[in-house]
Chains A and B, each alone.
Chain A
Amino acid sequence: GAVVSQHPSRVICKSGTSVKIECRSLDFQATTMFWYRQFPKQSLMLMATSNEGSKATYEQGVEKDKFLINHASLTLSTLTVTSAHPEDSSFYICSANDRDLTYEQYFGPGTRLTVT
Chain B
Amino acid sequence: QKEVEQNSGPLSVPEGAIASLNCTYSDRGSQSFFWYRQYSGKSPELIMFIYSNGDKEDGRFTAQLNKASQYVSLLIRDSQPSDSATYLCAVIRAGNNRKLIWGLGTSLAVNP
How big is the A interface, by class? 10 to 19
9 A-B pairs closest in CB distance? A110-B43, A103-B32, A107-B43, A93-B43, A107-B44, A43-B104, A103-B92, A104-B49, A109-B43
Kindly list chain A residues whose C-beta atoms are within 8 Å of the C-beta of B69: none
The docked-state distance in angstroms from the alpha carbon of A104 to that of B92 is 10
The docked-state distance in angstroms from the alpha carbon of A91 to that of B43 is 9
Kindly list chain B residues whose C-beta atoms are within 8 Å of the C-beta of A32: 97-98
Taking A49-B97, A49-B99, A102-B32 as contacts, is the C-beta distance between A107 and B45 under 8 angstroms? yes
The docked-state distance in angstroms from the alpha carbon of A3 to that of B23 is 27
The docked-state distance in angstroms from the alpha carbon of A106 to that of B44 is 8
Contact of A46 with B by CB under 8 A: yes
Contact of B87 with A by CB under 8 A: no
How big is the B interface, by class? 20 to 34
A56 to chain B, nearest CB (A): 12
B64 to chain A, nearest CB (A): 18
Per-position 1/0 for A80-111, Cβ under 8 A of B? 00000000000101000100001111111110
Residue of A46, A91, A102, A105 ringed by the most chain B CB atoms within 10 A:
A105
* Residue in B51, B97, B102 whose CB lies within 8 Å of A102: B51
**Contacting pair B49 A103 (CB below 8 A):** yes
**Contacting pair B105 A43 (CB below 8 A):** yes
B76 to chain A, nearest CB (A): 19
**Contacting pair A43 B102 (CB below 8 A):** yes
Contact of B60 with A by CB under 8 A: no
Residues of B within 8 A of A (CB): 32, 34, 36, 41-46, 49, 51, 88, 92, 97-100, 102, 104-105
The docked-state distance in angstroms from the alpha carbon of A102 to that of B98 is 9
Contact of A44 with B by CB under 8 A: yes
Taking A44-B44, A108-B43, A110-B42 as contacts, is the C-beta distance between A103 and B102 under 8 angstroms? no
**Contacting pair B46 A105 (CB below 8 A):** yes
Taking A103-B49, A107-B45 as contacts, is the C-beta distance between A44 and B102 under 8 angstroms? yes
Residue of A46, A104, A108 ringed by the most chain B CB atoms within 10 A:
A104
Kindly list chain B residues whose C-beta atoms are within 8 Å of the C-beta of A105: 34, 46, 98, 100
